[in-house]
Amino acid sequence: MTTILFLAASPQNLPLLSLEQEANRVQEAILHRAWSHEFRVVQHWKTAAGDLQKLLHDYRPDIVHFSSHGSPQHEIILEDAQGKPVAAPASTLGKLFALHKANIRCVVLNACYSHVQAAAIAAHIPCVIGMSDTIADTMAQEFAAAFYRALADGSDLNAAFGQGALQSELFGDEEQARVPVLLPDMDAGKGLTLVSGQRLAGAPSALPDQAAHRRSLDEFLLPLQMHLNTTWRTFNRLGYYPQHGYIERPISSLQAYFASLPENDARKALWMIYIDLLVSENGKAAALIESHPGWILRADFRQACLDYVDHVRTWEAVWSAMRAGLHVPPSTDLVASPFPAEFEAALRREIDEVSQRAGLP
């Protein structure tokens, strides 16, 4: 299976990038293509420079995709531990990818002015894509979607690059279509495909066989349901929270109740244990979603998963702040519920659908 490691960074004090939209476009481009079952996308958000070695070691990706800002000094901009911008020098990136050249086949630097860094990486990786100038968010998304769609249809890396550039041109901007550059030269990636198994028969929307659906149930959907069931059981134990209610309440109510209990109140200690368990189980479920290959998920359920992961990550951040005694602004767009109730219903529908495709009663 081909692993695409999608690394996103949009540090503080810099213009906000449409990173989630780009990630969604990449994921959707791969779905229901001829070889979509051979690709998985792993997303990592708020990527810090210090994360890179561990991420490349842990996931052993075939493609590394950076979605971030780039500077006129030809450096992609990642984040530090505080979310502030930090530049990744070309020479450092070159050394990093030299250590991981055994498994990485392609690096995509979808960031402005990244061609110098791309050249440094191309000394070690057979196919690298960088940007020679500024590139608009919309063009970056169009390029990425066409590039990955072509790969999932069985094209080699060189042809996929050509389709990405052409998509930008078809989108109406010939100048932007010339911004992506292929390194070390325009022949890079020729004959290098990232699929090895049998092409799915039928139309592009053809789905994997019954055995694959059964594996998805056993390895993904049912474990995901288990984590959510544990979350609900734990959540129901918080029913002694009558002052404010605990279903779909603003985070300000949650914080007010937490602050109102004395430090030596047994309910407060128990409450903190339950919330820690909620965060842990939700975190496991979110990690399961983020590491799962996307081909098995229909578009509507994938969007429900993405919404759920976004909710969980926000919930984790808010709870960490509250546990540390920090004030969380009441305007925080979050409710005290551990996850949106509609996600459970979406999961049940998906299990029913995949069970049927797997030939289960």
Rounded Cα–Cα distance for residues 106 and 58 (Å): 17
pTM above 0.85, yes or no: no
In the sheet with 75-79, reading across from the earlier edge strand, the strands are 69-71, 75-79, 85-88
Q: For the chain of 361 residues, list the mean pLDDT of each consecutive stretch of 10.
A: 88 72 86 80 86 90 90 79 82 92 93 90 95 85 91 91 85 75 92 70 45 73 78 58 42 61 69 70 74 58 75 72 65 50 76 76 63
Q: Cα torsion for 162, 165, 167, 169, to the nearest 10°? A: -130
C-alpha to C-alpha distances, 249 to 228, 242, 306, nearest whole angstrom: 19, 12, 22
Give the β-pairing of 106-110 and 63-67.
parallel
Q: Under a CB-based contact definition with an 8 Å cutoff, are residues 134 and 112 in contact? A: yes
pLDDT of 329:
59
**Both tokens of residue 43?**
């997303």
Residue-range domains of the chain with CATH: 2-183 (3.40.50.1460), 210-357 (no CATH)
- The residue whose two tokens read 């995709």 is 65
Exposed e or buried b per residue across 79-103, where buried means at least 16 C-beta atoms within 10 angstroms of its C-beta: beeeeebbbbbbeebbebbeebeee
